[in-house]
Structure 1
Amino acid sequence: MSQLLAEDHDPLRAQHRHTNLYTDLLRTVRELGLLKRRRGYYFIRIGLVVAAFIGVWVGFGLLGNSWLQLLMAGALALVLTQVAFLSHDSAHRQIFDSAHWNDWTARLLAGGLVGMSASWWRSKHSRHHQAPNQLQKDPDIDIGVIAFTPEHAGRRTGFQAWLTRRQGWLFFPLLTLEGLSLYVASVQHLLRRSATKVERIEAAIVVSRLAAYLTVLFLLLPIGKAGAFLGLQLAIFGICLGGSFAPNHKGMPLVPATMKLDFLRRQVLMSRNIRGGVFTDFAMGSLNYQIEHHLFPNMPSPTLRRVQPIVREYCELHGVKYTEVSLLSSYRIVVDYLNNVGLRARDPFECPLVATYRG
């Protein structure tokens, strides 16, 4: 007993124990074979998604000059969301053993079909994985249209302040612009002067895809219908993609920039899982298993459901809070949190890690 008390008051031993928590979990998962590639699954899934993409454009050509094309716009947005999920998995190197094959699969899916830069997204997303919800480190909580801390909200004046006070209620309408924002950021990243040779190749793929899309759209449809098609497709794409990522971390504790955290707690305490069945897995690209994805980012997405009970039990055993809610509850939490920042300026550092490490 005295030895345990001594360890609790020795920060080096406590940190070593926390580090071993993840190491032990990783060893168990690896021994169970849960990190093995699922190439057959991904080949079938990629084939089906590419077939659906082609099918949408065949339908587009058959419909011609008709307002029914808006159905094709919605279908295209849903297909592109699934392509983006596949590119995400490949960028995390979940499909192939070869990093080169994974990287180029991600680039071709994102650039050739969606029209986005996988390089830009991967750079941003990797920094998010390294420090989820940590101030000055996680790019997903940088200052943008939405303010994530009272400090950010307090700096705003005029229209920005008006928007911030209502940002929770405006969150879903703002998601309709998320798709356009992703395209703009991708093109800006690829066309910068310091772009690498690979990024210049990717730029050619992305620009060609976007140019071909707009050319076909405005050549085959009157400008009004083409504009409606484009607007609806971007809006649905933004809602589907943003609505899949937003529930995972928004409204979870924010971490001060200088706080040092062990890997398991850094990933689990800042992430939220979404309950649901096969449909939820499909609609969210298995990102509803966000805790497991952050702990094992190169684990194939269909395996995340299998590892979840192991992770949840392990966290409960070691007193690490494991958060899982329904999809509707997660959206309610996100809206309430954003309104708290914008309206009532709640202190975001209500973090269980602070109490843990003080102890």
Structure 2
Amino acid sequence: MAITDIQEYAHLTDSDIEELGREFDAIRREIEASRGQRDARYIRNTIRLQRGLEIGGRAVLFGSRKRPAWLLGSAMLGAAKIIENMELGHNVMHGQWDWMNDPEVHSTTWEWDNVGPSAHWKQTHNYIHHKYTNVLGMDDDVGYGLLRVTRDQRWSPFFIGNPVYNVILQMFFEYGVAIQHLELGKVAKGRVDKAEFAEKRNDVLRKIGKQVAKDYVVYPALTGPAWKSTMSANFTANVIRNVWTNMIIFCGHFPDGAEKFTKQDLENESQGQWYLRQMLGSANIDGGPVLDFMSGNLSYQIEHHLYPDLPSNRLAEIAVRVRAIAEKYDLPYTSGTLPVQYAQSWRTILKLAVPNKYLIANADDAPETASERKFGGNAVTTVDPATGRRLGLVTANAKGKRGPLALWREQRQRRRVEARVEPFVPRRHSDAADSARSA
């Protein structure tokens, strides 16, 4: 199922990983040393743009009873909220601009336009998600406690609703982010201190109250007779922001090639191994400057996970060097267009709504789930004697690719073998047993 030995999976030796770590460390040092006025100018210009869009959008909504004004105001406000959450809030709270010592753009002072309290998000995202990226049982972003996105998650009838849950999560993503820190699953099992939970819950409720009052009471009231249309425009702007944010995050974490890991990978993990896990567990989105900016530069999700606290405007130049390192070690550099990455994420969500037995491909070699076991113990890097080129994970994956028809035939043959071995155990009974064990 998920990767249990990342070094073996990556076809790298101990010395390879040490050298990989040194090369990534060198990139960090160079970028840190070169931060300066152009970076400060970038973030301040971004703040001006975002505030201009928000003020302009809210001004246009005074005429929101007319359709063109409603559409323009909703679009401007939606864009302002996207920029505030993605390029500003997300990145400022990562500490990307703390080096400026400017309290306006410091991770300790920024409170974003979102129903989730900044302090909560920094704990679940900066510490847990970025430290334990895609580690099953550690990173709650793997499915957000709601979706089945890897075959390692035991199937239950609940997951039949995977597609519906994701549509709801998209539309109200900010609420999903706010609820995530409350760890309601642990609360239901009595594994969270009641006083601690009450404090967190009250923080969330207070923040929700402020956001609801701002978007659905105060600003609509200011537009007088247009209050109803202004309220609907504000709701639309929030949905625009939520859906876009969800799309970008899912494209960075759930398309084919964004690998999952086990807790076993964390044992005595070195800095080089951490870099390697971040690289293999993330995916980029191919696009232009507009997509980069509107995604908070999370179109460079690989680079962001390698260097979460380096300025987002520098990720494009970092990406050139990271891609070169990937080629040097014959490692995958997962990247694709927004439609492709998003379609792959949705395909995973749709097909994992059903039990594994109905799926094509081996659980160790599926598009959304892979492990070192698919190489059968033969995961050693070799060198092409003709070219001197390293032949590692990318080459091994290319050799092992099979078409859908071959995968279907393999699965059919496996089922026939299973039927001969256990002819008296009905598959329906087996499913019931699995459900009982899951319960």
TM-score normalised by L of structure 2: 0.66
Say which SS state the counterpart of residue 264 (structure 2) adopts: coil
CA distance in 2, matches of 1:64, 1:307: 43
Q: Does 1:175 align with 2:177?
A: no
**1:94-126 residue CA offsets vs partner (Å, 9 max, x unmatched):** 11316794124432xx0xx44542111111112
- Equivalent residue, structure 2, for 1:351: 371
1:296-335 correspondence to structure 2 within 5 Å: 296-335=307-346
CA distance in 2, matches of 1:207, 1:188: 20
- For the 8 Å contact 1:134–1:254, the answer to whether it is kept is yes
Q: Does 1:259 align with 2:265?
A: yes
CA distance in 2, matches of 1:275, 1:105: 33
- For the 8 Å contact 1:255–1:349, the answer to whether it is kept is no
CA distance in 2, matches of 1:353, 1:321: 18
**1:49-76 residue CA offsets vs partner (Å, 9 max, x unmatched):** 1122111122223x15445435423321
1:112-131 correspondence to structure 2 within 5 Å: 113-126=113-126, 127-131=128-132
Gaps of 5+ in 1: 1-7
- Equivalent residue, structure 1, for 2:304: 293
Q: Mark the CA change 1:163 to 1:153 in structure 2 (over 3 Å): closer, same or farther.
A: farther
Q: Please report how far the alpha carbon of residue 15 of structure 1 lies from its aligned counterpart in structure 2 after TM superposition.
A: 3.8
CA distance in 1, matches of 2:82, 2:154: 31
Q: Please report how far the alpha carbon of residue 177 of structure 1 lies from its aligned counterpart in structure 2 after TM superposition.
A: 2.5
Q: Mark the CA change 1:221 to 1:357 in structure 2 (over 3 Å): closer, same or farther.
A: farther
Q: Mark the CA change 1:99 to 1:187 in structure 2 (over 3 Å): closer, same or farther.
A: farther
- For the 8 Å contact 1:281–1:288, the answer to whether it is kept is yes
- Equivalent residue, structure 2, for 1:272: 283
CA distance in 2, matches of 1:221, 1:138: 47
Q: Mark the CA change 1:178 to 1:17 in structure 2 (over 3 Å): closer, same or farther.
A: same
Q: Mark the CA change 1:320 to 1:24 in structure 2 (over 3 Å): closer, same or farther.
A: same
- Equivalent residue, structure 2, for 1:84: 85
**1:138-163 residue CA offsets vs partner (Å, 9 max, x unmatched):** 110155332123454622x3xx3431
CA distance in 2, matches of 1:291, 1:304: 9
- For the 8 Å contact 2:170–2:246, the answer to whether it is kept is yes
Q: Mark the CA change 1:207 to 1:143 in structure 2 (over 3 Å): closer, same or farther.
A: closer
- For the 8 Å contact 1:131–1:266, the answer to whether it is kept is no
Q: Mark the CA change 1:235 to 1:316 in structure 2 (over 3 Å): closer, same or farther.
A: same
CA distance in 1, matches of 2:262, 2:170: 27
- Equivalent residue, structure 2, for 1:72: 73
Say which SS state the counterpart of residue 46 (structure 2) adopts: helix
2:293 alignment partner, one of 282, 285, 289: 282
1:211 alignment partner, one of 188, 213, 216: 213
1:28-47 correspondence to structure 2 within 5 Å: 28-31=27-30, 36-37=35-36, 38-47=39-48
CA distance in 2, matches of 1:206, 1:161: 28
**1:303-328 residue CA offsets vs partner (Å, 9 max, x unmatched):** 11111111111121122221111111
CA distance in 1, matches of 2:297, 2:138: 25
- Equivalent residue, structure 2, for 1:3: none
- Equivalent residue, structure 1, for 2:161: 163
Say which SS state the counterpart of residue 339 (structure 2) adopts: helix
Greater displacement, 222-231 / 23-32: 222-231
CA distance in 2, matches of 1:70, 1:88: 27
- Equivalent residue, structure 1, for 2:98: 96
CA distance in 2, matches of 1:64, 1:238: 22
Q: Mark the CA change 1:344 to 1:257 in structure 2 (over 3 Å): closer, same or farther.
A: same
Q: Residue type matched to 1:58 in 2? A: A
Say which SS state the counterpart of residue 342 (structure 1) adopts: coil
- Measured on the aligned residues, the alpha-carbon RMSD in Å equals 3.6
Q: Residue type matched to 1:329 in 2? A: V
CA distance in 1, matches of 2:352, 2:324: 33
Q: Residue type matched to 2:351 in 1? A: N
1:161-240 correspondence to structure 2 within 5 Å: 161-164=159-162, 166=163, 171=166, 174-182=169-177, 193-194=198-199, 207-217=209-219, 219=221, 220=224, 225=229, 228-240=232-244
- For the 8 Å contact 1:115–1:183, the answer to whether it is kept is yes
Q: Residue type matched to 2:121 in 1? A: W
Say which SS state the counterpart of residue 26 (structure 1) adopts: helix
Q: Residue type matched to 1:273 in 2? A: N
Q: Mark the CA change 1:326 to 1:64 in structure 2 (over 3 Å): closer, same or farther.
A: closer
**1:279-306 residue CA offsets vs partner (Å, 9 max, x unmatched):** 2212211101111111111111111111
Greater displacement, 135-144 / 343-352: 343-352
CA distance in 1, matches of 2:264, 2:374: 12
Identity %: 18
Q: Please report how far the alpha carbon of residue 278 of structure 1 lies from its aligned counterpart in structure 2 after TM superposition.
A: 0.8
- For the 8 Å contact 2:155–2:355, the answer to whether it is kept is no
Q: Does 1:342 align with 2:353?
A: yes
CA distance in 1, matches of 2:374, 2:131: 19
Number of aligned residue pairs: 334
